[in-house]
Amino acid sequence: MGADFADRTDFDNAERGFVARLEPGQILGEGGRVVYDADAYTSATAGECPGTVNPSFWRQSQLTAIQGLFEVTDGIYQIRGIELSNMSIVEGDTGVIIIDPAVSAEVAKAGLELYRSQRGDRPVTGVIFTHSHVDHFGGVLGVVDADTDVPVIAPEGFLEHAVSENVYAGTAMMRRSVYHTGAALEVSPIGTLGVGLGPGTSLGTIGLIAPTLDITHTGQEETVDGIRIVFQITPNTEAPAEMNFLFPDKRALCMAENTTHTLHNLYTLRGAQVRDARAWSRYIAEAIDLFAADSDVLFASHHWPTWGTEAITTFLTQQRDLYGYLHDQTLRMINEGYVGSEIAEMIQVPPALDAAWNTHGYYGSVSHDVKAIYQRYIGWYDGNPAHLWQHPPQAAAERYVDVIGGVDATVAAAKKYADAGDLRFAAELGSHAVFADPDHQGARGLLADVFTKLGYGSECGTWRNNYLVGAAELLAPPKKTAWSPGGMAAALTITQLFDSIAIRINGPRAWDAKASIRWEFTDTGETYRMELSNGVLVHHLTDRKDPADLAITLTKPQLVALLGGSTDDITFDGDPTALQTLMSFVDSPSPNFSIVTP
């Protein structure tokens, strides 16, 4: 059946309440560097759909390119289209509450300035983080100072998950995000047009402020600057720590990122923990029960609002059923003996859901969401012993190419399948050829061409970006990106700071090394013992003062400074080489590792 291209409701809603555009649409950072260019997305999505873009994704990209300040309802505004995510602004008695201040400080600052140019210079009197993903907190230092005394509200567990996702695996995730967001591609009909969830991600300064007020339970009510807010905790939905909330006096419902105008990711291609489709569906059902009848407008941290109680209920019901259907049908087929790759080919969205635009896979996809559900319940192993101990990519490629008859023969076979329209198998063969002989220009060119065609045909924005970035990196060295996450360190706990060291210890080099350090923090009154033993750096809180090679007395801010190379006003007692020994085993991983080549 499919959705109706003649239906202009989404365009009407995306433009409703328009107040002012950001003019010009370029946001600049330090030294005049362009942090984000909204004008590029406006220009790139003008006119009729070209042959290099899936028509459904073209429509979605036109919607996400609409930018500016919009009134959601009396006293609630959104900045949309100048970042991957929305920044929402709620007017209180004396100032404004900021909901989800973008990815970077430069964008958040520009958005707040746009609002103030139309509504007056109101101070920020509160900040709300709806969940633990960087595009919903990273720009906080653009709206408040690091030492702000305004309440910073987040769901319980926010800080732990914000750190584990963006610091522990941060280097790998940053590299994969280049593919996920298409950050290194030009904004054009032959490049990136966004990710379906929104336009591109800004490349500015990322920061983090620890929450001062945790939302711990559904039904918790808080008043911020005279505004009543009723919260719903939704852990393990779109993020491990997330929440929806209702402004009852305004009949306005914020659904965070739990319901947007797309099928979302259960597994994000940039890399993250698999989400729980069952919990996601049930929390949407709970939101319908708690809030739908009391809401005249629903807004979220991406995309455009939905107005009207009946339309809100329909939208929430479609989203509820979408995640519930994928969850239940995947498990049904798992128990019939099918593996994830098979189920992903078999499942079809019910026609009534497919007829709604908001269920289409612009950011997630049925294919990789089904595989995510399979992974969550069954894991990576599909039960076939032939897949239990397979060769890694380069070793497998060399053997496949040998069986096929060499790289030239493999490239020829890949071209045959590509010419026949089987781009998926052509990509697999072409990848084997490249991994077997990375310098073979015919293999690289063929695979780049196949990736490009796959990208142009993708309805899913992240698929398009992954294919097109892969094609670009086969033809030229990877471009470096300019994210700056340094502003997050001050918000980390002591344990998280120590963890960030431990996960970078080069275990094999440190097998035979021994070192022990006692850390005494004068500001928290805590003592930690740290030991390097058998290539692992262990640390724990202790009340004991057992002998150690080195005792270090400092504050938590001094620990942050020490990790940056400063020893000012820190007391060292014992063998100073103990710290030098430990730090000598710390790797500095490159964020530019290869992906489409060995």
Summarize the confidence of residues 43-63 as an average pLDDT. 97
The per-residue pLDDT for range 470-484, each reduced to its tens digit, is: 999 999 988 775 555
Find where tokens 């042959």 sit: 51
- What is the distance between the alpha carbons of residues 433 and 597, in angstroms, rounded to a whole number? 10
Summarize the confidence of residues 445-474 as an average pLDDT. 97
The per-residue pLDDT for range 133-164, each reduced to its tens digit, is: 999 999 999 999 999 999 999 999 998 888 77
The one-letter code for the residue type at 98 is I
Residue 87 backbone phi and psi in degrees, to 5: -110, 120
- Is the pTM of the predicted complex or chain greater than 0.85? yes
- What is the distance between the alpha carbons of residues 449 and 472, in angstroms, rounded to a whole number? 10
- What is the distance between the alpha carbons of residues 520 and 461, in angstroms, rounded to a whole number? 49
Who contacts 122 (Cβ-Cβ below 8 Å, separation ≥6)?
Answer: 91, 94, 95, 96, 116
The per-residue pLDDT for range 430-446, each reduced to its tens digit, is: 999 999 999 999 999 99
Residue 423 backbone phi and psi in degrees, to 5: -65, -30
The per-residue pLDDT for range 223-234, each reduced to its tens digit, is: 999 999 999 999
Q: Write down all domains in the chain, each with its CATH number in brackets.
A: 9-325 (3.60.15.30), 386-458 (1.25.40.880), 493-583 (3.30.1050.10)
Cβ atoms 553, 483 nearer than 8 A = no
pLDDT band at 486 (very low <50, low <70, confident <90, very high): low
Q: Does residue 53 surpass a pLDDT of 90? A: yes
Average pLDDT over the chain reads 95
Specify the DSSP element, H or E, that contains 41.
helix 38-44
Identify the weakest region by mean pLDDT among 44-48, 187-191, 495-499, 516-520. 495-499
Q: Name the percent of the chain lying above pLDDT 90.
A: 88
Who contacts 63 (Cβ-Cβ below 8 Å, separation ≥6)?
Answer: 10, 11, 14, 261, 303, 304
The per-residue pLDDT for range 263-273, each reduced to its tens digit, is: 999 999 988 88
The per-residue pLDDT for range 299-339, each reduced to its tens digit, is: 999 999 999 999 999 999 999 999 999 999 999 999 999 99
Summarize the confidence of residues 208-212 as an average pLDDT. 93
Taken in order 366, 372, 378, 381, is the CA torsion positive or negative? Answer: positive
pLDDT band at 487 (very low <50, low <70, confident <90, very high): low
Q: What's the pLDDT score for residue 484?
A: 53
Q: Does residue 69 surpass a pLDDT of 70? A: yes
Q: Does residue 559 surpass a pLDDT of 60? A: yes
